[in-house]
Chain A
């Protein structure tokens, strides 16, 4: 999960999207192997329902297949682009079901049934990286961390986040900026 590993894979994943745009199913399968776990986990985090998370994951990959030719490497990294599609599809599902966006904390999510069910192999591989990210997140002031969690995983708009946190919109934007910059800075320091 290190930044270096990310950088190495970004070009490869952008290349896969380019191949998918030409109808290359082998490239699509490779991208699925890389992204399906994290995206499915994101779906579980947002929807808290395994069946719905699987359906949304399928919708997301069909969109990735159809929209691969619109991916623009100058605008976003491939995984970020895919996460955006997954998050929007999750949000659509939440709205369609008239469900309120999920607003649990990361700690609650990590203590949930999904965390317990994580495979031993994956956990072993990831422990160091997860510890690093958790430590970086813990270093962020609680109110900024909460705003970031809601922005990332709840499906709320920033206006809804402001209402949820009972803060002016401008304050929430400031918290998001400061929290995100501190998270980025901490992770960069850890990676050195």
Chain B
């Protein structure tokens, strides 16, 4: 799962990760009263895939997944938010990898090695908060203003809501799934039968 810049596995992870993103966007989201703003479980999955498969995969799963979702369910791609989705995946992937390099061979977020303790959980959440703030409070509203000339107070209100909702979703769902996933990676050698 180590990212060799663009291995076959990364290509497949992008393709199938984006398919999962699309399916969850359609089934696993709860609408909120503000337009364009949903509590979306698919961002929890995007965060996890960005950690597992790296920044390029995160970026492309976000871009492809969001574009395809918009196209097949509304026929109308909303580009500013599509780009923000990509940026979210990219930043989570970059920060998670950065930590990996600083700590030598292993990152502090060792989800795939079956270790995801308190330290990892805190780091994962710091990363996701930074990424969410940058994508939904900076990139999405600024692009909304640049592209669609929408009123600043409207798009920033939307941005605050989306940031809050996504931070909460990733904090709850993303963390739960990352913990559960890391537990599935426990080595068999550490187990004994109890009678």
Chain A bound to chain B: no
